[in-house]
Structures are given as structure tokens and as C-alpha cells.
Structure 1
Amino acid sequence: MPPNESDRDVDHSNKYNFPKVELHCHLDGCYRFSTIAELAKKRGIYLQKDESELKKFITAQTRCNSLPHYLEKIYNATRTYAGDEDGIARITREAIEDKAADGVVYLELRYAPHLFANCDVEPMVHAEERGRLRPKDVMDIVNKTVKECENEYGIRVTTILCALTPFEWGEETAKLCQEYESHGVVGIDIAGPEGSEDFPLHCQRGFEFCRINGIHRTAHAGEVGPAGHVKKAIEQLHAERIGHGYRMLEDDACYGIVKQHRTHVEVCPMSSHFTTGAPEDWSKHPARRFHEDNINFSLSSDDPGVHLASLIGDYDIATTMWGFTTQDLFKLNLNAARSCFLNEVERKQLVSDLKREYANYNDIVVEYDSITSS
């Protein structure tokens, strides 16, 4: 089992006390257990009869049977706030508050606005009943909350919009990325179970729209699906980053493409255990090979609410299971900063700020090149 935290209020002030960048985190996977229980009660939504059963219903306490089994936990929780303005705002605020507490200074928070809507969306997936909250309204709520939290918690937050298989929202999602570009939307993602034959090309037209219009692109691929999904994402979706990508190691040619393009890989240690995306034996986790081969990758928490944990739990895995040093973690955060979806000026400033902060850790031996190279 991975390190776990039963209490999200654990004091991390003296552990991994340096600024962090996180690129792969789902808003609908960032919930607090207590919040979901409270929202369900407040809105009269029945989930489970007692706390023990509720934890099994919305969190993963043991390795799941499959990725769809894992995703069900998130879908069960989303019912409590989908279609509810206050609930969406609260989930957003608490997600950002938790990230700031973990020392994250730049966060790319991804979500599918269609999943939270109860109007102008087909099918209506999670909302309990029809209402007046369109996907655009969901985005307005999230964007407003993000701006409030940035000022309050001193963290920079941008958003990525997720298109989901098998739903036909890809092109609309792409156009929303363009429409809301000036409101902090920095990219598009394709996500969902990798079982469909056309994954990840289900959203190819939406990704092509984004490529033509200069909108950044990341794609879930090779998490539990074949290495070929990674190849398709890079060559046909023109994805700049890959979410997870663990199965690329099963195909030398695919792995070579990732190396050649220096494609950034968003590794999520704890979730890879629960989704069965990586081997159960931590010593065989793909991240160890990525590290040895100097792959461009970083660490993210993916869905910390499902694990009753935080980004710190993923750092614990990297250091205790794989032997990563603090210097290694610095390098991974710089990888993330260089591969983030900010504009060039802001990206360079973020990298520069991190280098300056990391150089202040005099008790850690830092190789000059790992901190000062661009």
C-alpha cells in the first residue's frame, strides 16, 4: 500500500517545504470526504447509510479492479454538487486551499464543465435534475472562485478543460477553451476509460481546432490502455503532454517517440496504484525507468480526494519507494514549470522564480546545471 493520510489537515510545514508546480489534477477528484458527506445531507442526496459505507463508495482504500471502478468513486461524489452553484464553488475553493497548503505555487486544474451542468448538456450525467446551470455557467463559477482564491492563498491557478470519451462534447469543449482563454483557460485534455476503439482520437477534431488556434493540448493515454494510445496522442492529436503514459514502456518505438519529442509525462504515483495503471510492486513502477532515462516528467496527485491524501503523499512515494532525493524533486518541478501551459513570458518567470527559491536551500547539495539550465 502507498503512504496514506487519513486526515487532510496533517501539518506538512516542515516536510517538502519548497515551492511546487502541479500539472495534472482533476477538480472533481479533489473533494474532501467531509464536504461530500455534508453536501449530500444538505441536498437530500442519498449515497450510503453510514460513514464506513460512504468511504467505500467515494474513496479507494485498496487497489481497484480497474480504471472504470476507480472512476466510479469520483462519479459518486460528483452527484452531490453537480448543478449546484454553491457546491461547485465550495469544491473549487477547498481544492485550491489544499494545494496552497501543500506548497503548490502554480496549479493547472482540469475539469469537464459539462459534467457539472444541468442545462444545455446531453446527456446530463451527474446532476440530479434539470436546472439552469449551463457548461458556461459552471466555468464562470469556477473562474470566479479561482480568482478569489489566487488572491487569498497566494497561488497561481489556471484551468484545462476536459473532453471525455464517450461523450460528444469535444468540439464544444475546444471552442470553450478559445472563448475563455482570457479567463485563465490554458488548454484542452481528453480523458475517460481507454476501452473504446477510437480512444484517444474521439476528440481529434477538437484537438485540431486547438492546434490551429494555438491552444495547448494534453491527453490521457497509456494509463491502462496500450502504448499505441500514446503514439496516437502525440502524432495525431499533437499532444504536448501525456497524462500517465505508463504503458509506453511496452513499446520501444513509442517510448522512443516520447524521448525524441521530449514530450512531458504527467506522472501520478498514488493514483497509478489504485487504477492498476502501474504494477503493484513499487520497485517496478514506470517512473523509476523515466527517472533513469531522463524523461521529461513531473509528479501530480491526479485525484487526491479519492485517496484521502494530498500531493505530499505522492512525494512520499517518490522518496521512500524510489529513493528520489530533494534535488530530484527540484528537477521534476522545474520540468513541470518548463512544460506548463502559461505563455512564454510567464513560464520563464515561473522557472526563474523556482530556481531562485531552490538555490536558497543551502543544506541540500544541488548540481549547478539542474537548477540553472533553461
Structure 2
Amino acid sequence: MTTWPTAELHVHVEGTLEADLLVELARRNDVRLPSYDPEVLTARYAFADLQSFLDVYYSNLSVLRTEQDFYDLASAYLRRAEQAGVRRAEIFFDPQTHLGNGVPFEAVIRGLDAAIADATRGSGLSADLILCFQRDLGADAAMQTLETALPFRDSFIGVGLDSAEVGYPPSLFTEVYARAAAEGLHRVAHAGEEGGPEYVREALDMLKVERVDHGNRALEDPALVQRLRDERIPLTVCPLSNVALRTAPSDLAQHPLTAMLAEGLLVSVNSDDPAYFGGYVDDNYRAMESALSLDASQLAMLARNSFESTFATDAAKAAWIAEVDAVLAKVSG
């Protein structure tokens, strides 16, 4: 199968912590794990819902302690992303978890930033960071985190909203998003994964987001679908994640991506937390190609959509989209 040039717009760097690196960092930092056998650890990655995943996910993050740890984590992801055809990565990170573990913000951002600088130097890869707030920790904690991060403003391009969705609507975070906008930061938010279409509306109307992460349940509201189509609001869909967390049918052939494409939505394919959900972005492309019988023109559309949805320059977008068109011409010719 063809590896398409693509942007990855919905990936949590902490969710790329593969079991072998998890064990290496645990030993490095003298952190106790349930097992030091990577196969035993990954056998735990069968989740009933989002919360059961988050419990394992946040527990594993206790191994990240130093700037070098964050450098190693991001470097491993960026190497794998380049193999997957990623030309542009806009990478989420969750500083509140690490701050809660006693790790200084500077260690987190410096490690991630250095990894990006090294991986993109002289390569065809472009990458930036998006700071995410954990919605279950509340709006006050989000504002405090933003204040902590602003001295490092040049090291991230935007803010996002993630973690447990239901019960924590976007409207709770209006003030911190307004502050982020005033600082010139891009705004995205997870919405419509577990929460209904009203969460997507709130993210658009109250947080003024430029991109919706997931957004699957927007399909339940025809008026919202029309708005998303008319305003070309990007949706960053994560198929293998949806199946793993049971926010979509277990049969990938019934995934709503087909309906999103049919509605003319600006939808892209992403990996979310690939170390836990069985695949990186190229694996997601191939899974959807197989399950939905997508043809080359549809796959090219997803790749074009991903680049259109980035926060990169228009010139960079045009160059990447031209690369997609060249691949399409080659596989169709």
C-alpha cells in the first residue's frame, strides 16, 4: 500500500510512549512499574472506555522526569512519524500531568523543543507543539498552566483541550481560551468524541476554536454538519483510537469517516495515542483504506485535507499538497 505524504494534527506526544521506552525510562529514573516486560505491559492495553485508558496512560507518565526523558520521547515519535510519511506534525503535550509529578515546566518544554529542532534540521519534516489543558482539572488550573507556560511562548503555537470529555463542556474554559487568543495562540479542542454535538458547538462558539479534534458526533446534528462544511472547520479524526475506546463501532467498516467524506467535511486521519491504540498515522490510513475500500482519490483527499488543516504557511501547504497530487498521479497512472 502507498504511504501518503500527510500532516499529523491529532497526536499526544505522551501517547507515543512505547513500552520499551517506558521500561527504559522507568529503570533510568527508578520508577516502579507493574512489570518490566514490554509484552506484559502492552497486554493491559484493552480499554472499556476513555477513562479506563486514561488511568493507564497517566500512570505510565510517572516515568518522565527529566529534560532528557522528554527529548527521547519526542525524538522517538518524530523518527516514526517521518517513516509514516508525515511532513507536518502539530503535536499535543500535557504539562499539567508532569507538573503534578513534580517536573518543572521548563524541563518538559526544553526537552520537547530540542527534539523538534534536531529532528527538523535539514529534513523534510516540520513540527510544532500545542499545549493541552486537561479539562477534568478545571478552568482555574488551565489558566494557571497557561500563565506558567507564557514565558516559553515561542516554543508552542497553540492551546488545546483534552482528557475526560463528558461533564466538562468547552464553555467552562471560555476565559482561558480568550487569554490564549489575546496572546496570538491558535485554539483547538477535543469535542464530539464522547460528548455530543453540543460540545462541538460550544467549542466553536465559546472557545472560538479553529479546529475540532475528533468531532465524530457532529454527524448527529445536520445543521452543525452544514456549518462545519460551509466554514471549512477541520475535524481531526482518529479511527483506530475510536475503535479502541469504543467511541465508534468495533467494525472499522462502519466507521463514520465515510459519512464525513460524503458530507464534504474537512476531515483528516490521525493517530491520537499510537502506542496504545495499535498504530501510527500510516497504520490508520491503511486500516481505513482496507476497511472502507477507499480508492486513491479518496486517500489523496484525506492527505490534502490534513495539510489544509494545518497552522503552517500557505506556501508550505501548497508545496505539500503538490506532493500529494504527484503521488496520486503516480499511483493512478
Query: Normalization by structure 2: what TM-score?
Result: 0.91
2:223 matches 1:253: yes
Cα shift at 1:177 = 6.3
Q: Distance in 1 between matches of 2:9 and 2:58?
A: 22
2:54 matches 1:55: no
2:272 matches 1:302: yes
Q: Distance in 2 between matches of 1:256 and 1:221?
A: 17
Alignment of structure 1 residues 1-374 onto 2, 5 Å: 15-49=1-35, 51=37, 52-57=39-44, 60=45, 62=46, 64-81=47-64, 83-117=65-99, 124=100, 127=101, 130=102, 133-151=103-121, 153-167=123-137, 168-175=140-147, 179-183=151-155, 185-196=156-167, 198-342=168-312, 346=313, 348-361=314-327, 362-365=329-332
The amino acid of 2:59's aligned partner reads N
Moved more, 214-223 or 202-211: 202-211
Cα shift at 1:173 = 4.0
Contact 1:219 1:242 in 2 (8 A): yes
Q: Distance in 1 between matches of 2:177 and 2:247?
A: 24
Root-mean-square deviation (CA, aligned residues, Å) is 2.1
1:99-120 CA distances to partner (integer Å, 9 max, x unpaired)?
1111111100111223223xxx
Cα shift at 1:305 = 0.8
Cα shift at 1:40 = 1.6
The amino acid of 1:98's aligned partner reads R
- Structure 2: runs of 5 or more not aligned: none
The 1:66/1:22 distance shift into structure 2, 3 A limit, reads: same
Q: Distance in 1 between matches of 2:321 and 2:207?
A: 32
Cα shift at 1:50 = 5.5
The 1:350/1:261 distance shift into structure 2, 3 A limit, reads: same
The 1:334/1:87 distance shift into structure 2, 3 A limit, reads: same
| 1:370 matched residue in structure 2 | none
Cα shift at 1:54 = 1.6
Contact 2:304 2:324 in 1 (8 A): no
Count of aligned pairs: 329
Q: Distance in 2 between matches of 1:242 and 1:358?
A: 23
The amino acid of 2:220's aligned partner reads E
Contact 1:177 1:215 in 2 (8 A): no
The 1:326/1:113 distance shift into structure 2, 3 A limit, reads: same
Contact 2:165 2:195 in 1 (8 A): yes
1:262-299 CA distances to partner (integer Å, 9 max, x unpaired)?
21100011001011111223232111100111101111
SS at match of 2:157: strand
Contact 1:269 1:300 in 2 (8 A): yes
| 1:6 matched residue in structure 2 | none
Query: Normalization by structure 1: what TM-score?
Result: 0.82
Moved more, 256-265 or 43-52: 43-52
Q: Distance in 1 between matches of 2:108 and 2:76?
A: 16
Cα shift at 1:181 = 4.1
- Structure 1: runs of 5 or more not aligned: 1-14, 118-123, 367-374
Cα shift at 1:355 = 3.2
Moved more, 258-267 or 230-239: 258-267
Q: Percent identity?
A: 22
| 1:372 matched residue in structure 2 | none
1:48-75 CA distances to partner (integer Å, 9 max, x unpaired)?
2363432234xx2x4x211111222321
| 1:8 matched residue in structure 2 | none
The 1:262/1:174 distance shift into structure 2, 3 A limit, reads: farther
The amino acid of 1:96's aligned partner reads L
